[in-house]
Amino acid sequence: MSLPRRLLERISRRITLKRRLGPEFGRAPLLVSPGASLSFWWPHLASDLFAFAAEYVSPGSVVWDIGANVGLLSIAAAQRAGPSGQVITVEADLWLAALLQRSVAMQGPQAAPVRVITAAMYRELGLAQFHIAQRSRATNHLALATGGTQTGGVRQTVDVVTLTLDWLLDQCGPPQVLKIDVEGAEADVLRGAQRVLSEARPVLLCEVYEANAAYVTETLHAHNYRLFDWDTHPRVSVATACYNTLALPVERLS
């Protein structure tokens, strides 16, 4: 990594910028930080999460955003779901969760309520250590997980509460749409989501590390989900979970 990039990442850590989503999401305001991703220096927000929200979130939807970062999906989904919907956002990084809370407070009455939960999802309730990445906060991860290759090391380690998706089901009711982006902990998150998959049957977009692909594939197939590569256009069915896996309950297939 070049010295200029290292310096830019360092000065970006505590900077907060106000951006707006596209017109399809009501030009909703959102606070971002280039400390979470250097792409946030650019005025225009771009993310495939916006396409996911546009395709699968409708008025009245209940959406769970697990590993929310600055909340791109959370705020877009809130605009799509409207006041009759609900967004449950889970983010373990206290700094990012506080930034997201500020974004939530800026939304108008046309948006769904957004509940921000500061915790990490895992296979069991408890306590765990959570690494704040030296580089982008988007690569923060549980110490129990593998983490990505772009963390640049660990800036800080903090203790976090761990919850399960099945526990969240009992507290908040079933989701129709679920996103999981947990930097290598996705297999353990799904181990704690057996009832969510069997009873709630949400549409799922999950980032899957190669080491977890076999378990994720087996689990989703066992619950009668069909897998697709979200990054292909047109979208293609896949036999094994890929990096960005779209999983649809078979009853949702036309």
Listed residue (17, 156, 38) closest to 92, CA to CA: 156
CA gyration radius for the chain?
17
Alpha helix segments (H runs only) across the chain: 3-11, 48-56, 72-81, 94-105, 165-172, 186-191, 194-195, 213-222
Looking at the 3D structure of the chain, how many domains does it have? 1
In a domain, 65, yes or no: yes
Contact (CB, 8 A) for 126 and 162: yes
Domain range for 99 is 3-118+169-252
In a domain, 175, yes or no: yes
pLDDT in tens, 136-182: 888 999 999 887 777 888 999 999 999 999 999 999 999 999 999 99
Mean pLDDT of the chain: 94
Contact (CB, 8 A) for 121 and 165: yes
pLDDT in tens, 94-113: 999 999 999 999 999 999 99
Q: Is the pLDDT of residue 114 over 90?
A: yes
As given in the structure block, the two tokens for residue 168 are 């969240």
In a domain, 137, yes or no: no
CATH of the domain at 185: 3.40.50.150
Name the helix (H) or strand (E) containing 181: none
As given in the structure block, the two tokens for residue 48 are 């495939």
In a domain, 126, yes or no: no
In a domain, 157, yes or no: no
pLDDT for res 3: 67
Strands of the 114-117 sheet, one edge to the other: 114-117, 86-90, 62-66, 177-180, 203-207, 244-249, 225-229, 236-237
In a domain, 202, yes or no: yes
CA 211 to chain centre: 19
In a domain, 13, yes or no: yes
pTM of the predicted structure, to 2 decimals: 0.95
In a domain, 147, yes or no: no
Listed residue (148, 90, 137) closest to 114, CA to CA: 90
